[in-house]
Structure 1
């Protein structure tokens, strides 16, 4: 199982610039023949409080990413804003090798102006059972119960986290580790740039690999 985690540079409200960056980083990753390519939270629109206009691009974004997945026979995980009736979800999708949406997660841990999710779902792949959560969900007690109940083999976590003090530090990584240990699944985390970064933890919360800034983390199942 080969995974490319891409800490992508995201411009709030600039879909075309973000799409160009998404394509560029995706095509670079294809040189390594990954099985999964993973991008950050709402990576194609960004999000500026409380501008939900990016949600209107949900169908177009899903169609474009599905086409890339199908053309390259690869799974793609990424975050986007999802319109629903009179409100918006912060969601993430798993697109299958055939371009179909295999899994949707709606974020739990969001302020009141978002709709919020209420479950964790899984999808079967040839590598095992996969689940997705988003950023602050990693620290949500209800999420922990759902993940333990569903028992995924792998957990993907798109993030958009920029602490006030700049680059994530050792305490931030240790906090991730403790939560992953509680969830009990191999976990792949990728953050938007800036500050960027990507991390892989085993089911016991041990940090197996990481990158900083915009550097893609290529994981090929090494111990």
Structure 2
């Protein structure tokens, strides 16, 4: 099982620039023959409070990413803004190898102007059962209960985390490790750049691999 975690540079409100960067980083990752290519939270629009205009691009975004997944036969995980009736979800999708939407997660841990999710879903792949959550969901008590109940083998976590002091420090990484240990699932976490970073934790919270800045993290291991 090969996973490419891509801490992509995201420019808020500039879909065309972000799409060009998405395609460039995606093509670079393909050289390593990945099974999963994982991008950060709302990576094609960014988000600035309280501008939800990026949600208008939901259908086009899904169509474009699905086409890339289908053409190259890979799974793609990425975050985006999803319109729903009179509000917006901060969502993440797992697109299957044939371009279908395999799994959708709607973020729990959001301020009141967002719609918020209420469940964690899983999907079966040839590598086992997987789930997706988003950024602050990692620290949410309800998410903890859902993940422990569903027992996925792998958890993908698109993130947009920009601490005031710059790159995530040792305490931040230790906090992630402690949450992963509580969840009891191998976790693949990728942050948008800046500050970027990507991490793979084993189910016991052990840090297996990491990268800094916008460097792609390539991970290969047994399912």
TM-score (norm: length of structure 1): 0.99
Q: How far, CA to CA, are the matches of 1:180 and 1:108 in structure 2?
A: 17
Alignment correspondent of 2:108: 108
Q: How far, CA to CA, are the matches of 1:131 and 1:141 in structure 2?
A: 16
Structure 2 residue runs of 5 or longer lacking an equivalent are none
Report the Cα offset of residue 12 of structure 1.
Answer: 0.2
Alignment correspondent of 1:150: 150
Alignment correspondent of 2:28: 28
RMSD value, Cα: 0.9
Report the Cα offset of residue 222 of structure 1.
Answer: 6.8
Report the Cα offset of residue 82 of structure 1.
Answer: 0.1
Number of residues of Structure 1 aligned to a counterpart in Structure 2? 223
Alignment correspondent of 1:62: 62
> Alignment partner of 1:137: what SS?
helix
Q: How far, CA to CA, are the matches of 1:173 and 1:167 in structure 2?
A: 10
Alignment correspondent of 2:216: 216
Alignment correspondent of 1:199: 199
TM-score (norm: length of structure 2): 0.99
* Segments of 4+ moved more than 3 angstroms: none
Residue 45 in structure 1 maps to residue 45 in structure 2: yes
Structure 1 residue runs of 5 or longer lacking an equivalent are none
